[in-house]
């Protein structure tokens, strides 16, 4: 009964019809960077970019220089960049005092002497309690969707890369809907300010506006009046949400509950919300095969090699591993019989940032949502739900899954994962102390 209810819910969602020939899956960080630069150079009417950050480094400079070149080439081109308000005004974690990316945006504006608006979007009054985690790049009628932000590792400039998912979708109605959301919710808000212009108001100064902004975001949604309730073939539903019990959270739970045979989940941090764990347990009880691909701790973007000075943030990958080990122990029988496959991704020297859900090969969720308590209650998140009843994306789906699987190994027994006793002394000391005061639970909800 619950399965049918969930399937009915998914079937009732409005969808933008999608031409399969205009849907492209990119398989590498390098191809993602090249596609972005190509689309920036070729844009004729609009460029709208939403990302957690546009970093001051070589890759960020490539993107920003390309955007300024597009502005010089086509002065009437509508270019708008949206990044997180807090992230843009601080330095990198653990890197000491830094001016932040906003200072760089202002320097670049003065250097080019062109109008290229870069907006800071405050999803909350403090970064710890919520950030702009909305994803999506719109170039004319083409949407590029990825969980990646814009810096060296996400765009593979240099030796290291951070692996994500990348999809290029030409769909005018979908592009219009995503741009409309940014225009309506961000550009019309008194809490959203340009970071490329000086002066920038202090967060305390605009705190009342930020609180009103967040409250409004809780009821905001993508316009789907050009979508259809019934699409016979390939269709796409954009979804956005912030705060507890939001529409995206509901969609994720309904999507998992609609699985009949097979579910595959990707997340960089094994820190699943209780509602997701509960749904996975129900699937396993029903006999549904569940694959979970998670980054090995050394492939976590917070991992710090033992050869480098320890910082508190470096304990996070170990904390996530303790969650995974506990989960694997509880489900050892499911692992043994092959119904649950826990896969660790690790390409030495590189990091893993994949998110998404595949259900029975006919539903695919593209999202920047980390499937963790923070994403489910604090950050502003979005996703594209792909419905592919005729399996028109089957070849691309298989190629993407094969590419992801290349650097994975399966956990056959929970004891293959280390315990706190195996960790470096600073990590062991910190996690033991946090566990003693149960602060690890709070940290898991915030990070």
Neighbours of 395 (CB within 10 A): 11
Q: What is the DSSP letter of 127?
A: G
d(CA 296, CA 305): 13
d(CA 429, CA 81): 42
d(CA 249, CA 301): 24
Strand pairing report for 262-267 and 289-295? parallel
Neighbours of 128 (CB within 10 A): 12
d(CA 209, CA 371): 28
Contacts 24+ apart (CB under 8 A), 212-218: 213/122, 213/189, 214/123, 214/124, 214/130, 214/242, 214/243, 216/185, 216/189, 217/123, 217/185, 217/242, 217/380, 218/242, 218/243, 218/246
Strand pairing report for 289-295 and 340-345? parallel
Catalytic residues: 133, 164, 353, 381
Q: Would you say 355 and 165 are in contact if contact means Cβ atoms under 8 Å apart?
A: yes
Helices (H), 94-246: 101-112, 152-155, 172-181, 207-217
The residue whose two tokens read 């399965």 is 3
The residue whose two tokens read 């974690």 is 93
CA angle 425, 422, 431 (to 5 degrees): 55
d(CA 223, CA 397): 28
Angle between helices 247-257 and 274-286 (to 10 degrees): 10
> Coil, strand, or helix at residue 409?
strand
d(CA 86, CA 131): 8
Q: What is the DSSP letter of 200?
A: P
Angle between helices 101-112 and 58-73 (to 10 degrees): 30
Q: Following DSSP, what letter does each residue of 186-233 receive, concatenated?
A: IIT-TT-EESSSSPPPPTGGGHHHHHHHHHHHTT-----TTSBS--SS
């Amino acid at each position: 009964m619950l399965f049918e209810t969930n399937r009915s819910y998914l079937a009732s969602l409005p969808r933008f019809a999608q031409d399969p020939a205009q849907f492209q899956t990119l398989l590498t960080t390098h191809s993602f960077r090249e596609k972005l630069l190509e689309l920036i150079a070729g844009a004729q009417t609009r460029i709208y970019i939403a990302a957690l950050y546009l970093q001051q480094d070589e890759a960020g400079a490539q993107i920003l220089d390309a955007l300024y070149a597009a502005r010089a080439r086509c002065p009437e081109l509508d270019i708008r960049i949206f990044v997180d308000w807090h992230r843009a005004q601080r330095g990198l974690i653990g890197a000491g005092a830094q001016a932040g990316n906003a200072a760089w945006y202002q320097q670049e504006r003065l250097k080019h002497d062109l109008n290229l608006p870069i907006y800071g979007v405050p999803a909350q009054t403090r970064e710890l309690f919520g950030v702009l985690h909305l994803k999506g790049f719109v170039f004319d009628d083409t949407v590029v969707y990825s969980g990646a932000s814009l810096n060296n590792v996400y765009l593979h400039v240099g030796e290291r890369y951070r692996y994500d998912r990348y999809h290029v979708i030409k769909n005018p109605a979908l592009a219009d809907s995503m741009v409309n959301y940014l225009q309506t919710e961000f550009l019309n808000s008194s809490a959203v300010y340009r970071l490329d212009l000086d002066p920038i108001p202090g967060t305390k100064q605009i705190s009342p506006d930020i609180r009103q902004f967040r409250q409004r975001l809780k009821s905001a949604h993508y316009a789907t009046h050009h979508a259809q309730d019934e699409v016979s073939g390939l269709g796409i539903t954009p979804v956005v949400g912030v705060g507890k019990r939001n529409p995206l959270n509901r969609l994720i739970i309904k999507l998992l509950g609609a699985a009949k045979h097979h579910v595959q989940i990707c997340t960089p941090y094994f820190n699943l919300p209780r509602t997701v764990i509960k749904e996975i347990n129900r699937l396993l009880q029903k006999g549904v095969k569940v694959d979970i691909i998670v980054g090995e701790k050394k492939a976590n973007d917070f991992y710090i090699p033992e050869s480098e000075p320890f910082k508190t943030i470096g304990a996070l990958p170990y904390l996530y591993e303790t969650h995974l080990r506990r989960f694997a122990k509880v489900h050892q029988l499911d692992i043994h019989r092959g119904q649950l496959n826990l896969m660790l991704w690790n390409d030495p020297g590189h990091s893993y940032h994949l998110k998404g859900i595949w259900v029975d090969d006919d539903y695919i969720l593209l999202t920047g949502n980390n499937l963790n308590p923070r994403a489910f209650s604090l950050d502003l998140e979005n996703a594209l739900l792909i419905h592919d009843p005729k399996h028109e994306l089957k070849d691309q789906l298989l190629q993407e899954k094969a590419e992801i699987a290349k650097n994975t190994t399966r956990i056959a027994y929970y004891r293959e994962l280390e315990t706190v006793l195996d960790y470096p002394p600073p990590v062991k000391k910190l996690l033991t102390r946090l566990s003693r005061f149960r602060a690890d639970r709070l940290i898991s909800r915030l990070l």
